[in-house]
Copies of this chain bind each other. A is one copy, B any other.
């Protein structure tokens, strides 16, 4: 129920690992052994991410992968879409308005103009919007989330205890 595929999980794990080892060239085997994952599947996920242009690959011994984009600009949504496909084209009038620049981008509540009243549809939209505004940088280093919310209502936990 409501879970990402293993392929997506492995891909995101690999991405986080590559963020943490920025600059290095890491092979699929290294990553799979580090997290005790089936190395062939990790390889498949990395291939997907490479095909999508998120990684540089190098063959041969001492080959492997590197990040090809800034981790702060690569969103979870893009990664998941590359790994297991984006949800079917959910285009409606409300969404078109966003694309045309009406209303503030990012955090606007599209639901207020939702036309087809399918609760499932709205929820899918909610999830996907969250994916598209979450970067793998935030995934790897949660402290970056605070930056994104500088204008929001979120407050860091008090560690005084």
Contacts and interface: CB of A to CB of B under 8 A. Distances in A.
Contact of A16 (B3, B119, B127, B146): B119
A155 B1 contact: no
Contact of A76 (B15, B123, B130): B123
Interface residues of A, number: 60
A66 interface: no
Contacts of A146: 109, 112
A120 interface: yes
A145 B2 contact: no
B1 A120 contact: no
Given A112-B145, A152-B152, A153-B107, A3 B158 contact: no
A139 B117 CA distance: 9
Interface in A46-105: 76, 80, 84-85, 87, 94, 97, 102-104
A157 B123 contact: no
Given A2-B3, A3-B124, A114-B142, A154 B107 contact: yes
Interface of A: 1-5, 8-9, 12-13, 15-16, 76, 80, 84-85, 87, 94, 97, 102-104, 107-114, 117-120, 122-124, 126-127, 130-131, 134, 136, 138-140, 142-143, 145-146, 149, 151-159, 161
User: 5 tightest A-B contacts by CB?
Assistant: A111-B142, A12-B119, A9-B120, A103-B157, A1-B84
